[in-house]
Every structure is written in C-alpha cells, then in structure tokens.
Structure 1
C-alpha cells in the first residue's frame, strides 16, 4: 500500500506539472465547472421558491440530500476521468502499455488522470450541506457524524463501481462512451427522494442501477433513523459487492484484450 501511495503521488505531481504548462486554460476550465455547479444550485433555489416539500421531504432535507450526493460522487469525479478514454486506448492499441509495467493495470490506468476540476463539486457539496444543516431541525451528536462519514465512504463506492462497470464494457463493445454517458446522466436522479418514483423505478434504482444507494437511502437513515444497523450492513455489503463486480469486469476485460492486431 505504501508503495502504491508513493507512486500515485509521483504520477499526480507529473500530471499537475503538465496542466500548469497551460495555466490559463487550466484555471478557465475550473472557473467554468464552478459556474456549472452554481447554475445547478440556482435551479434548486428556483424550485424551492414554489415547492416547500417533495414527498414529505422539506427543502432543507432535499438540499442535504443533494450535498451528500455531491460528496459521494466526488471520488469518481476525481479519479475516474480517464475511464472516458478507455475505448480510444483499446482502438488505437495504446492500452498495451498498461501490461508492461510492474503495477496493477487498473491502478496505473486510473492514476494517469486526476481531475482537479472536481473542486467545483466539493465546493457545491460544502455549500449545500452547510446551508441545510444550519436550517434543519436535527440535533447532531457524535454518533450521527460518525454514521454520516461511514455511510458516505461506502456510498462513494456505488457510483465509482457504476462508472467502472460502464467503462469496462469497452472491452466487449469498444465504443463504451454511450454507456458511460447514460450512467453519468443517471446520477441526476440521486439528488431526489426515491419516493417520487413508481415502484418499478424504485426497484430498478435500488437493485439494478443502484442510484438510490448513492444518497437517498444513506441520508434517509441519518435523518429518519429506523433499523440503522441493518441499513449500515446492507449498504456495506452492497458497496463491496458492486466494487468487486466492477474490478472483476476489469480483470476479465484485460485478460481477453489482444491489441489491435497491427
């Protein structure tokens, strides 16, 4: 683990050096992403002007849900940006380089790109959570904070594994970007309570495309209590299962890839 952390630090340092070669472009892109996040927050503000509650969730609880989702999807935003290029690597044959160094191929592939623009998502999550917590009638104690951190940690595996699974379809269909785009768009549904959907979509977003596990079920557990232990165990098992499935898909895909043949 220490070896991989040291290597990761060196790779990220080189990545930042390459980005700093075009500083204006780098900072403009960050400003643009921050602007996009504020547009989304403005859309929420407009919604809250006419709607006080959505399926018994008041606007502060929904804002808290939105902030949790932003935090949960942050690791994927930071570390998985290179997934969008997997199909191109497979088509051009440049993916072969990931077999030729004494490193785990998934680690090597993902570590090449570090999306610092995700800072905009971090800022958005902080703003939403701070405003929501300041207005909710919810008494935070030490155990609630520990529960929040624990659930956030495992919830982040859900969206990460979904993107990884979508990306690894490239090993079988090559052009995986439409699948990635579809998966990326699904994350918008994580910002709303699952109770707004029909029973069919609730099942779909819980057991097949687990969008509800990114934020709704963890936040519902934090705010409304219930079977906390059962919920924690269920989210932990689901997160480990999905991330294991994503890694298995990567291993099977890399095992079958034979290059471009040229």
Structure 2
C-alpha cells in the first residue's frame, strides 16, 4: 500500500505537470507513433519484394512486431533512466534519493515514469489485433493467462538488462554510450531469430536475450509445435535476468560514495 500510494502521488504530479504544457505531451505521443509507423513501413517495404522472411509471412511478422511493442512500451513507461548518469551521478541527485525511506530504484522509477510511452503498447496491441484477423489462430482457454505471463517475463528481461547497464554508472565517472548501443540491439528481437546466423541467434537468446521480448513469446501463438518450448522459457529467463540486474544495481548502490565536490 505504501508504494501504491507513492505511485498515485507521482502519477498525479506527472499529470499536473504535463497538462500544464499539453502541446508537449501530444507532440511526444505523436512522435512515438510516427517512429513506430516508420518501423512498420520498413516491414511492409520488405514484403513488397518477398512473400516470406525466414519462413514467416507478413501477417506473422506484424504479429511478432506488435507483441514486441507492448512490453517495450511498459518498460519505457516505468524505467525511463536514459539520463541517469548525468542527472543522478554527475549532478549528485542520487544523494537525495538515498536519504529517503523508499527503495531507491522504486523512487527512480516513479520520478522518471512516462505514461505517454504506453501509447506504444496500445499501438502494438492494435497491430497484433490486425495481424490476428489475417491468421488462422485458435486459442485455448488458458492462452490469455499465458499471454500475460509472457508479457511480464519480457518486461522483466528489459528490467534486468537495463538495470545492469545503468548500474555501470556507479563504477565509472563518465557515460559509456552502452545504453544507445543496447537500444539498437534490442530491436533485433522484433524479427524471427532464424533469419540470423548462429552466433547472433545464440547472442539474442542466451547472452542478451532480446529474442524473448518479441519473437519467442509471440511464436507461442504462431507456431507452438516448433517454438512453444522456447516461448515458455520467457518468464524463467525474465526472472533470472531481473535477479542479475537487481543484484548488480544493489551492489552498485552499496559501492556509491556520493557525488563529492
């Protein structure tokens, strides 16, 4: 209840701030939608020249991409820490965070949450819905529950990877540029892994498991016989990487000694 009340208070403050400058809010929403539209345009352009990509047709690729957008929108809303090094380490705001009774990472999440990013998740659901109408997919009664579990697992993977990389700021004095690189790598997860060579496939599955934020969980509904086993590993991989990420983060916080002079 304590964190629920904190979330509600931060959300109210967010809405008051954003509604003061409503044009900025809608411009942010529009820019996010335009970015997603450009990615969709690229996929559609590819299928102007071929009917299949790695054995997957256009509707299936759109379904995978739509799934990919949903957990990424949730993650972007609640882990918007791209400027962590500059704001909290260089400027010393981490000292302020550590003097408060709430868990430090929870404070950072609430201070930087960006509900406008959830529009991307909504757009992903629309893309999935459209692709669904083009596919012959039958659902079991438990599939909606599986869908939610897979989404949670994908979000946990994002949390684990980016918590680990953000924690690097506790060990160095300057930004490393790793986050933008990782952001580019994660986009590989919106395509089937069988279109890549063995090295990239292993990298996206076991080292930087972005295949589990898009392709593997989506393939549970598209080709369960061949990929269902991998899809069901999504929550397991999510828990493992979330544990690793939070452990590195907590270690970094313990190592932090303040901004200095």
TM-score interval for Structure 1 and Structure 2 normalised by the shorter chain:
over 0.9
1:217 positional shift: 1.5
Q: Which has the higher helix share?
A: 1
Describe how 1:2-151 pairs up with structure 2 within 5 A.
2-81=1-80, 83-88=81-86, 89-151=88-150
Mind listing any 5+ residue stretches in structure 2 that lack a counterpart? none
Equivalent position SS for 2:174: coil
Q: Alpha-carbon deviation of 1:29? A: 2.0
CA contact (8 A) 1:79 1:115 kept: yes
Aligned partners of 2:78, 2:206: CA distance in 1, in Å? Answer: 25
Q: Distance in 2 between matches of 1:229 and 1:125?
A: 21
State the secondary structure of the residue aligned to 1:248.
helix
Q: Distance in 2 between matches of 1:192 and 1:239?
A: 19
Name segments (4+ residues, structure 1) moved above 4 Å: 227-233
Q: What's the CA shift for 1:149?
A: 2.1
Give how far 1:32 is off. Answer: 1.9
Q: Is the 8 A contact 1:166 1:176 kept in 2?
A: no
What is the TM-score with the length of structure 1 in the denominator?
A: 0.92
Q: CA deviation at 1:186?
A: 1.3
CA RMSD of aligned residues (A): 1.9
Give the TM-score, by structure 2 length: 0.92
Residue in structure 2 matched with residue 254 of structure 1 by the alignment: 253
Counterpart in the other structure of 1:180:
179
Distance 1:227 1:244 in 2: 29
Deviates more, 1:221-230 or 1:65-74: 221-230
| Aligned residue number for residue 164 of structure 1 | 163
Note if contact 1:37-1:120 (Cα within 8 Å) is conserved in structure 2. Answer: no
Partner Cα distance (2:5, 2:14) in 1 = 14
Offset, 1:232: 6.0
- Length, aligned pairs only: 260
Does the aligned pair in 1 maintain the 2:69–2:124 contact within 8 Å? yes
User: CA separation in 2, counterparts of 1:101 and 1:116?
Assistant: 24
**Cα separation, 2, equivalents of 1:25 and 1:110:** 21
CA offset digits 1:198-217 (Å, max 9, x no partner): 11111111111111111212
Task: Name the stretch that deviates more: 242-251 or 223-232.
Answer: 223-232
